[in-house]
Structures are given as C-alpha cells and as structure tokens.
C-alpha cells in the first residue's frame, strides 16, 4: 500500500470515531480524499461522508452521495454497507418529502434475501415501514407498526430507540387529531431521551411538545418548549434541528402577537434551511413570514410568500399545501378577490380531508 493510502486508512478510522461521537463536522475535516484512500476503502469512505452530511441535516447532499454509492456497491459482496447506505437513502428521501422515491428504494431493500436472515435488518424495516406510512399520511397504519417497535425497544431497555419511536407516535397522533395522546407520547419520549442522555432525542421531544401545545392554544407553554429545544440543539451539530427550533419558536411568537421577534426567528430558520437545501421546510418558513405580513395588513407581500410556499411544497407536502391555500385565500379575500379566495379555500379543505388532515380546523398553527 502506498504511503498516502496508508495515511488515508488512519484518517478514515479517525473520521468514523468522530462520527460515532456526534461530531460530523470534525469527521468531514479529517476524512481523506478519494485519492488518498485505498481503492478497497473508497466506498466506505463515501458512506462516512454521506452519514456526516445526513447527521448535520444536509439531506439532499447526503442523498446524492448515497445514490452514487449504491451504484457502485454490490449487495452480495458487501451486504452491510449496501443495507446501511440504502437505509440512509430511504431516510433522506422520506425526510425531504419524496415519499414515492423512498418507497421504491425501500421496496428494493425489502426484496433482499438477507432481510429474512438478519433479524436486525427486519427490525429496521419495520420501523422504516412505520415512518413511511406516517410520511404518507397513513397514521393508523403507522401507529400499529410503531407500537410493535416500542414494545421491542422497551423490552431491550433501549431508551434512546424507545424515545425516538414515541416521538414518531406523537407526531402521528397529532396529525390524526388526537392531541392529548400526542402530548402524552411526547412527554414519555422526553423522559426516556433524558434517561438515555440523548440531547438530540430531548430536542425532538421538546419540538413535539411545542407543536402540540401550540395547536391546543397553550402559546406561552409552547414558546418555552421551543426555547428549551433551541438550547438542546445549540450543543449539537444538527443544523436541521437548529432551523426547526427557530421556525417552531417563530410560530409560537407569531401566535402571541410578537411579530417582529417572529420575523427574526423565521429569517434565521430561512438561512439554515437554505444552507441545507431543505425546500419543504423552507415552504413552512415562507408560509410563516406570509402570516406575519398578513397580520400587519400587507396582503400583497403576504400573497407572494404564500405562492412561494405552495411552490416549495409542490405535491410532496399536502399539509403545507393546504395551509398555503388557506392563507392565500385570506390574502386574496383581503384584496377583494373573493370568488378566487372561496375556490382556494374549498380546495384546501378538500385536500386536507382527502389526506386525513385537520389543517382547516387549526386556529393556532
């Protein structure tokens, strides 16, 4: 082995260690270039890079790396790397709102003969099935799978995994309209994440509590949950989590009438979501900025925000699209375009009901 390649193998191992310690940016700094990595280790090197980007919230960039990696890795020669890269790819696509593409990749993984031979792969598949069902709006089906995952995690005393599953259950229950059960799931998630000493898990549980208490109209409580979540993510390298904290806090501030503060938080979220190329969540920021402008009587500017939000949501985010159309209907009505506003309002309600959502009933979104 040449000296650069040998040095590259040491640096690859160091990068793996930093990634395991939740320091993805440090992992990227020490990761060797492809040129400095032995050919036999280049696929593993690219996997570490993809994982580091995903951990920080750069999902689109990570998805591109997983896609390239899966084009080179043979499932039969390196099944573990192939499976791990496939799960990473599915996770990125699902989180980016591209559920059809995530399902296609998941279907490919599910057909692998190894799925029946390795219990860990089958368990991972059950959890991913639940998360895909949740992303597709099939909340009842998602919850049935998640309950099985929760029982297993609790039996194995895997508190971090149980906290994650409860967080997913809380989200499904919230969108299903079962708000008190949702709150209870998030509270249990927070307890278990603390037991696991998992700051990221604590942060996401706090996000869930901030969201569901806001929908219930408990706005001061909601704002405090987001402040605590922001503190939790300040100690991590999860840029998505930081962006989410700004956006969620902005939603609570907007509902409290603290519009200037809300606008600042939305702009901070906009910068971070733009940095990590998260178009769907940028849509929610545009929608929130539009709601601030509408509350200030600036309906023309608000209309522009809602149109941009709807474009960012496309067909991948039915809840965001419904919220955008509802808000756009309000902006158009304020400008005297009542017939168009009525049509958009009706469309938004139809779309929400078709996807089992209750966006049209939410006063404190």
- Predicted confidence at residue 361, as pLDDT, reads 75
Q: Say how many CA atoms lie within 13 Å of 191 toward its Cβ.
A: 8
Task: Provide the pLDDT confidence category of residue 365 given band limits of 50, 70 and 90.
Answer: confident
**Domain at 265-365, CATH from 1.10.10, 1.25.40, 3.30.1120, 1.10.3470:** 1.25.40
pLDDT tens-place string over residues 8-61? 788 999 999 999 998 999 999 999 998 888 888 999 999 999 999 999 999 999
- Predicted confidence at residue 1, as pLDDT, reads 42
Tokens of residue 40, six digits: 């036999």
Alpha carbons 223 and 253: distance in angstroms, whole number: 7
CATH number of 137-236: 1.25.40.10
Write the Ramachandran bin of 258: left for phi over 0, alpha for psi from -120 to 50, otherwise beta: beta
Percent of the chain residues topping a pLDDT of 90: 81
Alpha helices in 75-138 (DSSP H): 79-95, 99-110, 114-117, 119-135
Q: List the chain domain ranges.
A: 137-236, 265-365
Alpha carbons 114 and 122: distance in angstroms, whole number: 9
pLDDT tens-place string over residues 64-115? 999 999 999 988 888 889 999 999 999 999 999 899 999 999 999 988 887 8
Kindly report the number of other CB atoms within 10 A of residue 78's CB atom: 16
Q: What is the dihedral angle through the alpha carbons of 311, 314, 316, 320, rounded to the nearest 10 degrees?
A: 50
- Which residue, chain included where needed, has tokens 């991948």? 316
pLDDT tens-place string over residues 149-162? 999 999 999 999 99
pLDDT higher than 60, residue 2: no
pLDDT tens-place string over residues 329-349? 999 999 999 999 999 999 999
Task: Provide the pLDDT confidence category of residue 3 given band limits of 50, 70 and 90.
Answer: very low
Per-chain mean pLDDT for the chain: 93
- Predicted confidence at residue 6, as pLDDT, reads 52
């Amino acid at each position: 082995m040449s000296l650069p390649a040998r040095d590259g193998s040491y640096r690859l191992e160091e990068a793996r260690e930093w990634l395991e310690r939740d320091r993805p940016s440090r992992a990227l700094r020490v990761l060797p270039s492809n040129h400095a990595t032995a050919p036999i280790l280049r696929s593993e090197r690219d996997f570490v890079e993809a994982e580091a980007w995903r951990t920080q919230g750069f999902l689109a960039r990570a998805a591109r790396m997983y896609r390239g990696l899966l084009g080179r890795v043979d499932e039969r020669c390196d099944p573990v790397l192939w499976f791990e890269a496939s799960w990473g790819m599915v996770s990125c696509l699902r989180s980016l709102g591209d559920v059809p593409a995530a399902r296609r990749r998941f279907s490919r993984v599910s057909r692998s003969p190894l799925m029946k031979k390795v219990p860990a792969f089958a368990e991972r598949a059950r959890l991913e099935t639940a998360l895909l069902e949740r992303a597709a709006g099939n909340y009842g089906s998602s919850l049935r799978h998640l309950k099985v995952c929760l029982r297993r995690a609790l039996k194995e005393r895997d508190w971090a995994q149980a906290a994650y599953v409860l967080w997913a259950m809380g989200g499904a229950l919230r969108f299903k309209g079962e708000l008190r059960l949702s709150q209870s799931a998030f509270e249990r998630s927070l307890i278990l994440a603390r037991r696991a000493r998992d700051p990221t898990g604590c942060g996401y549980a706090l996000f869930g509590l901030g969201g569901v208490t806001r929908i219930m109209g408990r706005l001061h409580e909601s704002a405090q949950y987001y402040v605590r979540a922001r503190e939790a993510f300040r100690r991590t390298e999860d840029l998505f989590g930081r962006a989410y904290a700004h956006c969620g806090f902005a939603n609570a501030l907007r509902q409290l009438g603290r519009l200037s503060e809300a606008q600042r938080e939305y702009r901070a979220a906009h910068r971070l979501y733009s940095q990590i190329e998260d178009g769907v969540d940028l849509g929610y920021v545009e929608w929130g900025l539009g709601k601030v402008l509408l509350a200030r009587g600036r309906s023309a500017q608000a209309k522009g925000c809602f149109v941009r939000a709807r474009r960012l949501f496309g067909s991948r985010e039915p809840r965001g699209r419904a919220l955008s159309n509802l808000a756009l209907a309000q902006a158009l009505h304020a400008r005297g375009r009542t017939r168009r506003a009525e049509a958009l309002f009706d469309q938004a309600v139809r779309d929400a009901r078709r996807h089992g959502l209750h966006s049209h009933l939410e006063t404190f979104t």
